[in-house]
Structure 1
Amino acid sequence: MNQKTITAAKVAPRPQPRTNATRIRAARRTSPTSAASPIQLTVHNHPLARRHYRVATAAIEAFVDLVEHCVRVLIPGALIYARPRMGKTHAIDYLALHLARHRGDILVLRMSCEHHRSDYEGPFFSALLGAAGVRDPQPRTIAEKRFALMRRLSEQLQMRSGHIVVLLCDEAQRLSKHALEWLRDVHDQLACHGVRLITFLVGQPQLMEHKAQYQLAGDEQIVARFMIEQLHFRGITDAVEAATCLASYDLSRYPEDTGGTFTAFFYPDAYTAGLRLEQSAAALWNGFVNAHTVAQLAGPVEIPMDYFTRAVESMLLNGPQWDSSGLVLEPAHWERAVRESGYVAAQQTVRL
């Protein structure tokens, strides 16, 4: 199905809350290099070149809003689902940093759910202990692991003077019913000590199938505990959302607060003359739309975050050779960036 391109006029006005500079700076991942470091910042060791940074999208902001809502009213769990490569792990990184900056009293745990051919309580609690920061050697028996987990969480919360634990489970579609039951036990044990565990199951669309199966089977204790709220996490779906993401590169600084913005670092002369990536939102979006149409890809255009950021990174990394005070980023520049992102090849592979 052919997609209509969007002209530059449709990009503005952009909703201001989506690109709040404070939130973008707070949630961007930083690397060990700092303003006081003797290491000179170059194109090759910049966080963007190493893909060691985080930027905001409309979907990420919706995720942040959901988490803040659940924390505010103490909803015990929510389900966030999306197709692969839409940026779920990226969003978890962003969210963990956001909470660390704005809610230091909350203990945030991140657990990557591993695939196991059989359910064993020991490995599950070992993963939880690892998420809580308990490394080798770990307790041997399940009872000892449960006790060590409770003690660790209690110690960490006392340091924060808090009573809320946020657990972010990545690839949560791998969690079995038994694992959710074990997690429910942890929730109940913490509640007995006045601690609230809020779990976010982040994974692929199979999570919705699991929820439906639990509902049909009458497993209300699982649905009501971990799947009350739900969010369909999406990629970039229009030029306005593209502008939100591009504005992050215009606003985020490295080193944080003292360094130049990402755009200014790679295009210093053009940036001084007024160049901003946000102004190219329509051109970049249309580049993806055209590539989608020419390749005859099925379905509506929804750009996974991985390929969107690769296109932006391609554009920025060309800064040293293209930068000038009179530079204008033309559609041809962005079409090249879209090609270099690998979007078409990836979609052709997964949709065959």
Structure 2
Amino acid sequence: MENYDIPVVSLGKHPIETGKYLIATNEIDRLCYIVSNWIGNKFPGAIIHGRPRLGKTRAISYLIKVLPDEIQQNIPMFHIRCRTYTSPRENSFFEDILAGVGHAAAELGRPSEKRVRLKHFFIEVAEKSKQNKLVLFIDDAQKLSAIQYDWLMDVYNELDEYGIVLTTILVGHDDLIDRRKKFIKNKDFQIVGRFMSDSYQFRGLNNIQDFEILLDQYDDGTEFPMRSSVSFTEFYYRDYFKKGFRLVNYANDFYDVFMQIQLEKGLPSEREIPMQYVTLTIEYIMKKFGYLGDNLSTLTKNQIKQAIINSGYIQSELILLDID
């Protein structure tokens, strides 16, 4: 069996072990194009929605990393997560945003002082970037209430007075579309126009091509350690990688097994496959069947099915089907 140098990585430190890595998918590429257009056209706000576990949060983290190069503008971008408030309070709201954008004095002062501090923070980062644009991604945005939209609108208006365009992108469940319909019915057109002027439905994996693009990233679009030129697949299948082992060669098998499981469990055949469970499936295959596990030279459909079952995909989809 051929051996060649593979960097030594401390136990548990590889991204496949930690889960701390970002990877492009077909859907993320589509989303990148859409969001680039929103920013380029100075949309004040828009919605990214989809059912749980599709990978929306990771997609936003990836976009923040690549969008400045994609649009060739060093636009400051922030990603915050909305909390559930039993009773929305201005003080907690602005404190959470300040903390989310990384402000060092998020907890100090009264609500009015926190609002002013946020405005000055945004103005300062916009000036430093030499751009007149800011992008704020709000995750779990289905939790926002009408009064919180009013507070966000105040921030938008104050920045607009300084010639700064704030694009607020709401990220959350499909409930966001229902909220938009409700605002329209109630004639809250300011909220709709300011924060919901367009929408994009984020989807999971739907076809073989989606699997091919994703698996190819593990084979050739990843690297660890940095500057090692060793992909994730090469690291875990070091004995067979130079002999041609590639996960992308099993794209048809991955898709077929997921479809087979959907049929067996009575799940809708057109139901998209959440990125979270595909990622967990791949990570299981790397660890269980790669060099540090069984060290297999090929994969079978039964092994792929074992990995899918281990990911929790079946239980999760059955629960969501009951909710639907």
1:183 to 152, 161, 164: 152
Q: Matched residue pairs, number?
A: 312
Please state if 1:292 is matched with 2:262: yes
Map 1:56-67 to 2 at 5 A. Answer: 56-67=24-35
In the TM superposition, what whole-angstrom CA distance separates every residue of 1:267-289 from its partner, at most 9, and x where no partner exists? Answer: 01211111111111110111111
Please state if 1:344 is matched with 2:275: no
> 2:15 matched to which residue of 1?
47
In the TM superposition, what whole-angstrom CA distance separates every residue of 1:116-164 from its partner, at most 9, and x where no partner exists? Answer: 1112111111122112211346332122112111111122222222221
Preserved CA contact (<8 Å) 1:199 1:226? yes
Report the secondary structure of 1:275's partner residue.
coil
Please state if 1:126 is matched with 2:98: no
How far 1:340 sits from its partner (Å)?
Answer: 1.6
How far 1:104 sits from its partner (Å)?
Answer: 6.1
Aligned residues: percent identity? Answer: 29
Q: Which amino acid aligns with 1:55?
A: I
Unaligned runs of 5+ in 1: 1-38
Rounded to whole Å, the distance in 2 between the matches of 1:123 and 1:337 is: 42
Q: Which amino acid aligns with 2:228?
A: T
> 2:245 matched to which residue of 1?
275
> 2:287 matched to which residue of 1?
317
Preserved CA contact (<8 Å) 2:106 2:114? no
In the TM superposition, what whole-angstrom CA distance separates every residue of 1:58-100 from its partner, at most 9, and x where no partner exists? Answer: 2222221111111111111110111111111111111122235
How far 1:323 sits from its partner (Å)?
Answer: 3.4
TM-score (norm 2): 0.91
Preserved CA contact (<8 Å) 2:61 2:79? no
Rounded to whole Å, the distance in 1 between the matches of 2:303 and 2:164 is: 53
Unaligned runs of 5+ in 2: 1-6
In the TM superposition, what whole-angstrom CA distance separates every residue of 1:297-316 from its partner, at most 9, and x where no partner exists? Answer: 24523111111101111111
Higher relative contact order (CA 8 A, sep 6+): 1
Rounded to whole Å, the distance in 2 between the matches of 1:127 and 1:195 is: 22
How far 1:351 sits from its partner (Å)?
Answer: 2.3
Q: Which amino acid aligns with 1:222?
A: I
Preserved CA contact (<8 Å) 1:125 1:145? yes
Preserved CA contact (<8 Å) 1:54 1:90? yes
Q: Which amino acid aligns with 2:259?
A: V
Please state if 1:252 is matched with 2:222: yes
Preserved CA contact (<8 Å) 1:113 1:174? yes
Report the secondary structure of 2:171's partner residue.
strand
Map 1:93-104 to 2 at 5 A. Answer: 93-99=61-67, 102=70
